[in-house]
């Protein structure tokens, strides 16, 4: 007899959290633990409903509030004994001393933000992390994910684009173009996850 799990497709879906507090709309907030805006909170229900249609076996999230809210909402819609896992390796890039500053403040203080993608191995914001440090931790998470059933990961734009870019063999300078919209669901191809 074939188990029900054996008949289930194997896939990984990554989804970016919904919109954060409006006061942070033009600010750097990678590792900062922010809540959602009213629009972001309203968007959670439709994204959770769409995600639940994939009948996930497990849901990961970064542990940051903006990702955790969507993960919890999806688990509630699925309404089964689903595995809900917080994993800090899915967190956004730690921007160190840039956290909370506006992008204009970072630019006008003489920081070259482009160095994050042009020098991904060595450049980090003061007290932050390099782009390749982000890549390495999200790849370590990816390698640890069970290769059976349906996995959903609620994460962040930088985390998702770093994983996608790495799996596609693209240089870090091309990763920003792979950043999903807020609430967008991204299937990670079976070529890498089957």
In tens, the pLDDT along 154-193 reads: 999 999 999 999 999 999 999 999 999 999 999 996 545 5
Q: How confident is the model at residue 8 (pLDDT cuts 50, 70, 90)?
A: low
pLDDT value for 109? 86
Query: What CATH architecture does domain 10-193 belong to?
Result: 3-Layer(aba) Sandwich (3.40)
pLDDT value for 3? 39
pLDDT value for 4? 45
Tokens of 36: 């959602």
Q: Is the pLDDT of residue 1 over 60?
A: no
Stretch 72-92: mean pLDDT: 93
Tell me what the pLDDT averaged over the chain comes to. 91
pLDDT, tens digit, for every residue of 34-64? 999 999 999 999 999 999 999 999 999 999 9
pTM of the model: 0.90
Stretch 5-34: mean pLDDT: 86
- Helix ranges restricted to H, the chain: 4-7, 38-52, 65-78, 103-108, 115-118, 131-144, 157-167, 190-193
Tokens of 87: 């994993």
Contact 83, 58 (CB under 8 A): yes
Q: Is the pLDDT of residue 90 over 90?
A: yes
Alpha-carbon distances, residue 19 vs 67, 72, 194 (angstroms): 10, 16, 31
pLDDT value for 190? 52
């Amino acid at each position: 007899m074939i188990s029900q799990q054996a008949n289930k497709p194997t896939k990984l879906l990554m989804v970016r959290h919904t919109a954060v507090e409006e006061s942070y709309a033009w600010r750097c907030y990678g590792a900062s633990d922010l809540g959602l805006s009213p629009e972001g909170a309203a968007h959670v229900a439709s994204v959770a409903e769409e995600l639940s249609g994939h009948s996930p076996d497990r849901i990961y999230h970064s542990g940051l509030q903006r990702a955790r809210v969507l993960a919890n909402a999806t688990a509630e819609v699925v309404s089964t004994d689903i595995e809900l896992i917080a994993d800090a390796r899915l967190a956004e890039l730690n921007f160190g001393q840039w956290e909370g500053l506006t992008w204009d403040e970072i630019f006008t203080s003489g920081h070259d933000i482009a160095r994050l993608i042009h020098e991904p191995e060595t450049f980090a914001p003061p007290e932050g992390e390099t782009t390749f440090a982000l890549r390495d931790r999200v790849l370590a998470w990816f390698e640890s994910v069970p290769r059976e059933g349906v996995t959903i990961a609620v994460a962040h734009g930088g985390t998702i684009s770093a994983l996608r870019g790495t799996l596609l063999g693209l240089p870090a300078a091309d990763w920003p173009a792979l950043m999903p919209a807020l609430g967008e669901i991204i299937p990670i191809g079976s070529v890498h996850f089957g």
